[in-house]
């Protein structure tokens, strides 16, 4: 691809739902942190094309930031299959189908009916390939941002899972003609 791409990756606002739940894609965002949304809006380039995962919480967040994003299915969160909609505590207590085993190697393990983080990285790479040159804002999930960092830094999937990515925080990476550049990770807009 000719030219440089400048990426502002924003993790969506917290989910308006029960904490500790593996939320489905239709879970809405809690957009009550108006101060942080406004601070983040000031940090984003006005002339950028906006993209989002098709999940409701990412679209809600993008719109709260004044964006009308192009939806990119490859940017959706890791698919937790049969565990979606359930609480982590309940799955752990019930010993459900290898829950503990999954967390012993979360980069490569797949939940029943789901995908691994490694699978998500492949998808995110395909999604990034769809982003043209110039500035772009991606309102996505923590796993999507970790996957993008894995690609940009040429990390192992296990290493990429070490990044903390907080709601409404900003990560800046650039895809340049000669490789990737990381400007910041998990930055709070002020």
pLDDT over threshold 90, residue 3: no
Helices (H), 72-177: 88-94, 99-104, 117-128, 142-153, 157-160
What does the pLDDT look like over 68-89, one tens digit per residue? Answer: 999 999 999 999 999 999 999 9
Buried b (16+ CB within 10 A) or exposed e, 134-151: ebbbbbbbbbbbbbbbbb
What does the pLDDT look like over 140-176, one tens digit per residue? Answer: 999 999 999 999 999 999 999 999 999 999 999 999 9
Please name each of the domains of the chain with its CATH number. 5-187 (3.40.50.1240)
pTM score, two decimals? Answer: 0.96
How far apart (Å, rounded) are the C-alpha atoms in residues 126 and 146?
A: 15
């Amino acid at each position: 691809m000719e030219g440089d791409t400048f990426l502002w990756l924003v993790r969506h606002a917290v989910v308006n739902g029960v904490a500790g739940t593996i939320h489905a894609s239709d879970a809405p965002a809690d957009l009550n942190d108006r101060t942080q949304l406004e601070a983040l809006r000031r940090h984003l380039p006005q002339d950028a094309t906006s993209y989002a995962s098709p999940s409701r919480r990412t679209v809600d967040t993008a719109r709260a930031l004044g964006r009308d994003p192009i939806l990119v299915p490859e940017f959706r969160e890791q698919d937790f299959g049969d565990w979606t909609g359930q609480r982590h505590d309940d799955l752990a207590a019930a010993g459900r189908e290898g829950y503990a085993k999954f967390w012993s190697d979360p980069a490569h393990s797949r939940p029943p009916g789901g995908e691994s983080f490694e699978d998500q990285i492949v998808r995110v790479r395909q999604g990034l390939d769809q982003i043209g040159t110039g500035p772009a804002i991606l309102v996505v999930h923590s796993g999507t941002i970790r996957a993008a960092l894995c690609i940009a830094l040429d990390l192992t999937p296990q290493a990429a899972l070490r990044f903390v990515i907080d709601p409404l925080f900003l990560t800046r990476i650039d895809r340049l003609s000669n490789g990737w550049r990381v400007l910041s990770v998990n930055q709070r807009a002020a």
